[in-house]
Amino acid sequence: RVSNRLKLGIAKTPEEMEQKLQKAIPKKDWAAAHHWLIYHGRRVCKARKPLCNECFLNHLCPSAGKV
């Protein structure tokens, strides 16, 4: 969800998105990136009511305020 909202890649499945992100993120950072995306999705970029006004990425996010 977070990856799609930030337009980090277009993918039809979570597995496809994972492969795209793995190509873009250095292998040494995979675990940290995974945890940060999950944390951000749980705390800020929530599925039903994202807190775009509180998001530090809202100036970069094409979906900010549109979800």
Q: Are 17 and 4 in contact (CB under 8 A)?
A: yes
Architecture of domain 2-54 in this structure: Orthogonal Bundle (1.10)
pLDDT in tens, 18-49: 999 999 999 999 999 999 999 999 999 999 99
pTM: 0.81
pLDDT of residue 23: 93
Mean per-residue pLDDT over the chain, rounded: 93
| Percent of all residues in the chain with a pLDDT value above 90, rounded to a whole number | 81
Q: Which two tokens stand for residue 58?
A: 């809202």
DSSP string, 19-58: HHHHHHS-GGGHHHHHHHHHHHHHHTS-SSS--GGG-TTT
pLDDT grade for 10, boundaries at 50, 70 and 90: confident
